[in-house]
Chains A and B, each alone.
Chain A
């Protein structure tokens, strides 16, 4: 006979990661721990200022420079002399602070995807990042809460205070229907759970439905989680994770998971075949509306890219829609592959040719349009975007309107000049 009271409760994946990172056998949900990250994910946009701040305060050494990886991503290549000069200085600063790993312009990509592609992240890691959408790294079972400006202190001290979060478990069953994308699922989940529920909690994806969701899809699920205020997104590592990582990393790892009897705050079960493409209308990413309600809405810019929507899944879906068609004459279509690896893969598959022949602008990987410093929107512009958020001002003017959608809907809207689905476009052409 076992005594149910004496039985130790299982632990969530987040608990296991934070216990190890704080040098403890176990940690309880809700307690505050001082944890040391395995990796610092850093970006060239902010690091010049962060190094300067450290220097101004007399901090001449980082605690763990060997754990730092820097990516060029926010403005690649530089648009101004000022930015080019900052980036030139950055190389000196990195040398001064002993940081050797730098994915410079040309070998770069948006950090949250590139760092995974290059095999730096494995299940069970704690990663601290200077950029908000670092929750993406949960795609391989790493806990990656964004800490933004606090990165300065964490670099100096080598640690940070973190509250052990509660976990919301999202169990996926079945399979997405054709023309339904991971972005649709990700948006559905944040809208269904809502910011009050997601705040300070981890959204953990698992279940038999994960079998059909590849690493691109998993990145999207974890990326979008932060838009609902989640501390992190996680995907339960599985055989697909193992296959993906084996080809990319030499770092030893185990497929660390939550225990079945862990203390989950909330569990939801989703049948994937019930998910349908929706659009998030301004002013917030969880403001989902049916595409049919926006029929006829004129569009003058479409953006397919960002750490939320410029992966092969997105580029293939968009190319399928625009192949043999032309972008509407009143629309500017921007296609920005998320990383150099994606860019090269899209070139090999002939996708870039499809976009260019349709009248799209294809540019090198960068965060630009989703950050408002490349092809900025002006007053009154209407943009369909696979970017991260539709908060007013995000892509330029605060008087512009951003509608978030999957890449196929974005591409169809670029061709039609109005917000529409690929099916509606096909019907119109026929």
Chain B
């Protein structure tokens, strides 16, 4: 197979090159005629996802169990692999919860990610603060059917975040760059 660069247009300047690779994907593009507007690929994909959704509760359940196991493993031995496993479990929940239909869980998982990610010496993280996060995630999931679940989740997460931020600011008081990150909002809209 010929190398891709062999069919690229290259323009060289003083300290850089601008390369225009051949667009091999161009053949997949077509202009839709106005009378073909009924076919909506996004709607088709959303329908396919909706058909998968009966699985989501059990998936969320298994992710919460994984988080719980990671918490117990970390309690048994505060090693880097165990710490990373807890972070990944929380990070996955942060990213998946809304897709699985449990958006109110994501913020508590995000707070745990921040706690692990921004503490310079991880062994100084209070174990009870980790437990409070894991228990909060599991409790919000368990009680999700309650009519006031979202309000309770919001209040619980707000308090967790306050305690976590207080801890992180104390741990990073000599690291202005990290302090700036902690105070910066996410650039992704809510």
Q: Do A and B bind each other?
A: no
Give residues in B with beta carbon < 8 Å to A.
none
Give residues in A with beta carbon < 8 Å to B.
none
